[in-house]
Amino acid sequence: MGPVENLMSDFLRECGGVAVIDGGLATELERHGANLNDPLWSAKCLLNDPHLIRTVHLDYLEAGADIIITASYQAAIQGFENKGYSLEESENLLKKSVEIALEARDVYYNRCHEASYNPSPDGRILKQRQILVAASVGSYGAYLADGSEYSGEYGDAMDLEFLKNFHRRRVKVLADSAPDLIAFETVPNKLEAQAFAQLLEEEGINIPAWLSFNSKDGVNVVSGDSLTECVAVAESSKKIVAVGINCTPPRFIRDLILSIKKVTAKPVIIYPNSGESYDADRKEWVQNTGVSDKDFVSYVNTWCEVGATLVGGCCRTTPDTIRAIYRTLSTKS
C-alpha cells in the first residue's frame, strides 16, 4: 500500500475515528450576499466574489469541519467556455477554487495558533489539527444545470468515453492544483462512477478520491442503478479511499450505509442534504420541507454506529449544522 491508499485511514486515525466534513456552500454564499441565479451556480462566485468563498470555508472550519470542499462542483470547463471564457481562463478558475480553500486553511491554522495564546470566547472551534481540502467534481448532470444529477438520466446515446472526455481536463487541472483529495459528488449512476474511476488510472492521478452517490428512494442511486454495483466500482479502485452518499434526505441514510458496508471495507462518507425537496423546474428548494439541525444531528450517532466515518452536510445545511455534528461527535469520543 502506497501513501495514496493510506491517506484516509491515517487521517481518520488522527481524527479519533470519525472526521467532520463541511456543509452546504451555495446557500451559505447566498446568505453572505452572493447572487447565484446562474447555470454556473456557486462557481459563479469564483469569478465575482472569491472572498465570500473564503469566508464560507473559514466559517465551516470554525464550526469544526476537518475537511472543506472547494467551490468547483459546477465549475466545468465547458460551462465557463459557454460563458465566453477561454480554455486558459477556465482552467485558471478551477485552480482558483483550490487556491481559495488552501488559503482559507492557512488563515485558519494561523487563527488556531493565535488562539493557543488567547482562547476564543465566542464558540469558534480553533483547535490545531490536520485539515484536508477536497476538490469537488460534480457530475455531468451538474454541468447541464437542469437537475439531471437528481435523475441520472443522460439519454441513451451516453457512453463511458463521452463522460471520461467531458471530465478529463477538469480532473487533471484540479489534481495539479494540489488539493489533498478529489471529491466526486452527487454521482447519479454507475456509468459515471466507472468514468471517474478509469480517469484516475488513465491520467495517472496521484491524489486520492472519494466517490459519493445520491439516492431518492433509500435503496438505489437516483438513476435506479444498484447502489451495491456502484459501490463495487469504488471498491475496485485503489485510488478511491472513501465511498458514500451525499445530497440525499437524512431519513434514507442508515439503510444506505448498511448496503454500502456489504460491498466495501473502505471508509463510508455521509453528507446528506437537509431533507428539503428540490424543485428542479423552478431551480429552488421548497421551504420548510426538511429537518431541523437538532433532528439532523439526532441521526448522526446512528450513522456512525452502522459504520459511517466521515460525516457532514450537503445542500441547505449550514455552519450551525456542522457545529452540532462536531459537538455530538466530540461528546461521544
**Shortest CB 131 distance to Zn ion, Å:** 21
15 a known binding residue?
no
Q: Considering the complex, state which of residue 174 and residue 314 has its C-beta at the smaller distance from Zn ion.
A: 314
Of 247 and 297, the one with the shorter C-beta distance to Zn ion is 247
- Residues 233-262, one symbol each (x = binds Zn ion by CB under 5 A, - = not), give --------------x---------------
Least CB distance to Zn ion at residue 60 (A): 14
35 vs 41: CA distance, rounded Å: 9
**What is the residue-wise DSSP string for 5-30?**
HHHHHHHHHHHTS-EEB---SHHHHH
Minimum Å gap between C-beta 247 and Zn ion is 3
Q: In terms of CB distance, is 125 or 242 closer to Zn ion?
A: 242
Amino acid at 8: M
The residue (of 264 and 273) whose beta carbon lies closer to Zn ion is 273
63 part of the interface to Zn ion, by CB under 5 A: no
Q: Which is nearer to Zn ion, 247 or 300 (CB)?
A: 247
Say which residues have a Cβ less than 8 Å from residue 317's Cβ, sequence separation at least 6.
23, 24, 271, 272, 273, 274, 293, 296
Distance CA 32, CA 34 (A): 6
Give the nearest distance from C-beta 316 to Zn ion in angstroms.
8
Minimum CB–partner distance for residue 173 and Zn ion (Å): 23
Q: How many residues bind Zn ion (CB under 5 A)?
A: 4
Establish whether 45 is an annotated binding residue.
Answer: no
Give the footprint of Zn ion on residues 281-320 (CB under 5 A). Answer: 314-315
Residue 21 binds to Zn ion (criterion: CB under 5 A): no
b/e sequence 298-320, b meaning 16+ C-beta within 10 Å: ebbeebbebbbbbbbbbbbbbbb
Q: Identify which of residues 90 and 215 has a Cβ nearer to Zn ion in the complex.
A: 215
Least distance to Zn ion from the beta carbon of 245, Å?
11
Nearer to Zn ion, 28 or 91 (CB): 28
- HEC profile of 189-224: CHHHHHHHHHHHHHCCCCCCEEEEECCCCCCCCCCC
Q: Write down the number of H helices and E strands in the chain.
A: 13, 10
- Helix or strand run (H / E) with residue 296: helix 293-305
| Nearest Cα to Cα of residue 24 among 288, 285, 219 | 285
Q: Closest approach of Cβ 4 to Zn ion, in Å?
A: 27
x/- letters, 114..153, toward Zn ion (CB under 5 A): ----------------------------------------
Q: Kindly list the strands in the beta sheet with 209-213, ordered across the sheet, starting from the edge strand earlier in the chain.
A: 19-20, 308-311, 268-271, 240-246, 209-213, 181-187, 132-137, 67-69
Annotated binding site for Zn(2+): 247, 314-315
Residues binding Zn ion (CB under 5 A): 247, 273, 314-315
